Amino acid sequence: MSAELHQLGVAGLAAALRERKVSAVEAAHHHLSRIRAHQDLGAFVAIDEQLTLSQARAADDRIAAGSAAPLEGVPIAHKDIFVTADLPTTAGSRILAGYRSPFDATVVRKLGEAGAVTLGKLSCDEFAMGSANENVAVPAIGFDHAVPVRNPWDTGRIPGGSSGGSAVAVAARLAPGATGTDTGGSIRQPASFCGVTGIKPTYGRASRYGMVAFASSLDQAGPMARSAEDCALLLSAMCGPDPERDSTSLARPAEDFSRQLAGSLDGLRIGVPKEFFGEGVAPGVRAAVDAALAEYEKLGARRVEITLPRTELSIPVYYIIAAAEASSNLSRFDGVKFGHRAKNYRDLADMYAQTREEGFGDEVKRRIMIGTYVLSHGYYDAYYLQAQKVRRMIADDFQQAFAQCDVIAGPAAPSVAWKLGEHGDDPVADYLADIFTLPGSLAGLPGMSVPAGFDGGLPVGLQLIGNYFAEAKLLNAAHAFQQATDWHLRTPGGY
């Protein structure tokens, strides 16, 4: 069975482990060997085989004793934005070189308590700032310098970002599941580009404790895996209140997100925003999404035309609010307490300046400068305050839409993955790629990307957006679609 292990998703592997068809140690060995064989993709930045195998042996002992947790022995990997006590954490940045956390992030801890075995840490854009996973300053395993993560469907193309390493690990069958974070689309967009399933829950569902902060009012953890069923299992373990550690955590009890997976879609109203099908959408992407919507109609759902009139405003609103919060959050990286410190400096102020100059990459510096500007005296009201007002209007637009529909559907991104380096020094081109994911993030809504076809041999993702706390409904809609199609089962050649 070992030859087929990497083709099993989270649910399939969990079942095989419970039934003793395979051991956790065998599953760990198999995936570690695949990670080494495909390290040219640049997906992993840290592994510790002894740690992984030790966790796997403990999982086998619990299975043998009949005390297995839901994910017992299932190997997964974590985005390098979550702190881990047993593995280094860099958030993709030189400024955190050599940092070891004294504790695990809540999401990491909860998945461990559910029985998951840690394979390693995954590459991400520096401080989760990016749409391509090209803003990386930390070497991947097998490299002595920083490299962008490569899309396994075409290694000359980007995987999407910032959770590009997570999407690639799942797509290339290096791990059955992975954690990611989504600030403005960083789970949904790479899931779309790599042909995997990813879900961002309602803001506050999963604890942010131990997640290196980018934009505190937007950052949210979520899983990436092969299928909606796999994501439901992972999300059920990840979510739950954490009020003692995270002030943004919601007092909402953990729940089984797989409980509605098999439900019927008869009468489901799917809202289709006209703004998601404008001139900027590639014809192949639109065709794939239209075909997916037609499939939903066969399953008993009904299309409803809706409007989200402030969709275009989500880009300037997001890049004002996110940059403002980043400038505040990243002020803690000063070379005093942890991470990189400049060797040559004149005084304390110069140490701060030299450390941050050496430690931060260009995109991070750009966002810090924008954020500092919009928060400065004389500009706060004109930019930041206005952006927050429009953010509320965007959230109101969604509530008006949900009065007419149950789920909103459209493209996760206006195009498929572009070539490495294609956007060069034009950050705005990357920003525009997030236009369909940003509105839901600003409103704090749950959203997911589901494989829905191909355009020129590259994956296309269908985005599903639900109202607050409608994760189970989204996963039900995604699962029904995946039971009727096989897009999520397609594997890139050679993997």
Question: Residues 434-484: pLDDT tens digits?
Answer: 999 999 999 999 999 999 999 999 999 999 999 999 999 999 999 999 999
Question: Which of 93, 101, 186, 227 does the annotation list as catalytic?
Answer: 186
Identify whether the C-beta of residue 13 lies closer than 8 Å to the C-beta of residue 27. yes
Identify whether the C-beta of residue 399 lies closer than 8 Å to the C-beta of residue 408. no
Confidence band (pLDDT; 50, 70, 90) for 102? very high
- What are the helix (H) ranges across 114-238? 164-171, 188-194, 228-238
User: Residue 236 and residue 199: Cα distance in Å, rounded?
Assistant: 12
Confidence band (pLDDT; 50, 70, 90) for 20? very high
Identify whether the C-beta of residue 390 lies closer than 8 Å to the C-beta of residue 397. no
pLDDT in the model for residue 192: 98
Exposed / middle / buried, residue 403 (Cβ in 10 Å: 0-12, 13-18, 19+)? exposed
Question: Which of 23, 101, 131, 162 does the annotation list as catalytic?
Answer: 162
Half-sphere exposure of 28 (CA within 13 A, CB side): 24
- Can you tell me the mean pLDDT for 285-307? 98
Amino acid in position 337: K
User: Residue 235 and residue 182: Cα distance in Å, rounded?
Assistant: 14
pLDDT in the model for residue 87: 98
User: Residue 443 and residue 466: Cα distance in Å, rounded?
Assistant: 11
User: Residue 221 and residue 181: Cα distance in Å, rounded?
Assistant: 4
User: Residue 173 and residue 185: Cα distance in Å, rounded?
Assistant: 22
Q: What is the DSSP letter of 384?
A: I
Known catalytic residue at 79: yes
More confident residue, 97 or 147: 147
pLDDT score of 1 more than 70: no
- Can you tell me the mean pLDDT for 421-431? 85
Identify whether the C-beta of residue 176 lies closer than 8 Å to the C-beta of residue 197. no
User: Residue 476 and residue 440: Cα distance in Å, rounded?
Assistant: 19
* Cβ within 8 Å of residue 37, ≥6 positions away: none
User: What distance lies between CA 87 and its chain's CA centroid?
Assistant: 20
User: Residue 351 and residue 334: Cα distance in Å, rounded?
Assistant: 8
* Cβ within 8 Å of residue 60, ≥6 positions away: 23, 24, 25, 73
pLDDT in the model for residue 57: 98
pLDDT score of 2 more than 80: no
Identify whether the C-beta of residue 411 lies closer than 8 Å to the C-beta of residue 286. yes
- Can you tell me the mean pLDDT for 136-158? 97
pLDDT in the model for residue 390: 98
pLDDT score of 3 more than 80: no
Tell me: the pLDDT tens digits for 243-276?
999 999 999 998 999 999 999 999 999 999 999 9
pLDDT score of 369 more than 70: yes
Known catalytic residue at 331: no
386 to 153, 219, 313, 381, 390: CA distances (angstroms): 41, 21, 11, 6, 6
**3-class DSSP assignment, residue 358:** helix
User: Residue 213 and residue 54: Cα distance in Å, rounded?
Assistant: 30
Token reading at 174: 């290096």
- Can you tell me the mean pLDDT for 225-235? 98
Confidence band (pLDDT; 50, 70, 90) for 123? very high
Known catalytic residue at 101: no
Token reading at 16: 């095989």
Q: Which of 324, 341, 325 is nearest to 333 (CA)?
A: 341
* Cβ within 8 Å of residue 322, ≥6 positions away: 183, 184, 214, 215, 218, 367, 371
pTM across the whole model: 0.97
CA dihedral sign, ordered 251, 253, 258, 264: negative
Confidence band (pLDDT; 50, 70, 90) for 208? very high
Half-sphere exposure of 464 (CA within 13 A, CB side): 31
